Amino acid sequence: MYNEEAKNFGTTMTLGFTLLSIDPKTGTPSTALGPMMGIEATSLSRILKTLEDRDFIVRKPNPLDGRGVLIHLTPSGLEKRNISKQVVLQFNKVVENAVSKSQLKAFFEVADRINSLIANKEVFQEEENSIKA
């Protein structure tokens, strides 16, 4: 759904999500983006290269850590970030109007529990959950 809308603006959901993850004022350390987004380093490198090629981001040395790099938005990157933000806010508004607060609360409780099971590697750990060959 997000990808369909992103196509209208010449981008993808992944690129929009990455732009939303970059601090528009101070930039974001490149090493923080992967864990923040749940993306592997190789995939993130490819995404950042695409954003750089499209002139949406620039890489600058981190003044606090000479080994690190900060990812900053360019003016066109900030514009695409703002569009991405509006798309997400519009989606949220439609959902909030279509679903009751209690349904939404229950949904997030279930989603949080599922994420916790995954994060704590509880899905395939227990004997009864293991797959039998």
pTM of the model: 0.79
Which CATH code is given to the segment(s) 2-97?
1.10.10.10
The alpha carbon dihedral of 81, 84, 90, 94 has a sign of: negative
CB of 92 closer than 8 Å to CB of 25: no
Residue with tokens 């991405």: 84
Would you call 61 helix, strand, or coil by DSSP? Answer: strand
Q: Tens digit of pLDDT per residue, the chain (133 long)? A: 776 877 778 888 899 999 999 999 999 998 899 888 988 989 999 999 999 999 999 999 988 888 889 999 999 999 999 999 999 999 999 999 999 999 999 999 999 999 899 888 888 876 555 666 5
Give pLDDT, residue 19. 95
DSSP labels for 59-104?
EEEETTEEEEEEEEE-HHHHHHHHHHHHHHHHHHHHHHHHS-HHHH
Domain spans, the chain: 2-97, 99-133
Which tens digit of pLDDT belongs to each residue from 14-39?
999 999 999 999 999 988 998 889 88
Note the pLDDT of residue 29.
92
Instruction: List the one residue out of 50, 53, 54, 48 whose CA is nearest residue 76.
Output: 54
Q: Measure CA of the first residue to CA of the last residue in the chain; give whole Å.
A: 37
Strands 28-29 and 57-62: unpaired
Token match 């970059």: residue? 22
